[in-house]
Amino acid sequence: FSPGLLLVACSFAAFRLLNRELERLVPPPPSARRNRWKWRNIWTSLAHSVLSGGGALAGFCLHPELSEDLVGSHPPGAHSLVAISVGYFLEDFVDMLCNQKLHQSWELLFHHSVVIVCFGIAVLLHQYVGFALVALLVEINSIFLHLRQILLMANLVHSTCYRLNSIINLGTYVVFRITTLAWMTRWLFLNRENVPLAAYTVGTVGMAIMTPMNIILFYRLLRSDFFK
């Protein structure tokens, strides 16, 4: 039972506890009281995005040499950050499975399954932690995606705050989500001879699944927030 798995379990428990206490910390507005579960779920996701996205960005800013070796080396705390994220994705998977119908959540459940497998390999093998940290840069955009959902549930869709968040959300989507996924796909292609077949297959399949999903989500955001 490795320390990494212990940290995954502690992270799962911590996010579960946070989810249960969030309604007291951030009471839902009247417009969100009919879906209290979703209100708690989004705030829990926001907490993870701030932690993981901010941590990944700080890691690359403080250790720029990390980008030269994404397989074997990683700065202090990077392995822990990836393990914490695995715990969160497991918690969110269970939360959605218990509280949402399958036809409403299958896309996110599928997404979480891919992430748990890929990040789990990094946690268990202590390899590709740097690559997983690159993937966590996506969470910087997720901060604004979750804020968008919170504003929608609070019935603030016509507010200046929502409009400003929509613009930042779109900008960070291109920079931290689409560009990051494209860079990861390129890295896998260029390093295919240096990556074991099993890891290369998992990474390639993951990118093949994530890229179309994120392009579709980008289109939905454009249509909803800018083309209406």
One digit per residue, pLDDT tens: the chain, 228 residues?
578 899 999 999 999 999 999 989 999 999 998 899 999 999 999 999 999 999 999 999 988 888 888 888 788 789 999 999 999 999 999 999 999 888 888 888 998 999 999 999 999 989 899 999 999 999 999 999 999 999 999 999 999 999 999 999 999 999 999 999 999 999 988 888 888 888 888 888 888 888 888 899 999 999 988 886
- At residue 1, the pLDDT reads 59
Q: Is residue 158 helix, strand or coil? A: coil
Q: Contact 43/24 with Cβ under 8 angstroms?
A: no
Q: What is the CA radius of gyration of the chain?
A: 18
- At residue 67, the pLDDT reads 81
Distances (CA, A) of 160 to 107, 167, 220, 224, 227: 30, 11, 21, 16, 17
Q: Angle formed by the axes of helices 102-125 and 78-99, to 10°?
A: 160
DSSP letter for 193, please. Answer: T
Closest CA to 123 of 77, 82, 70: 82
- Distance of alpha carbon 74 from alpha carbon 185, whole angstroms: 20
Q: Contact 200/119 with Cβ under 8 angstroms?
A: no
DSSP letter for 173, please. Answer: I
- Distance of alpha carbon 170 from alpha carbon 149, whole angstroms: 14
- Distance of alpha carbon 85 from alpha carbon 89, whole angstroms: 6
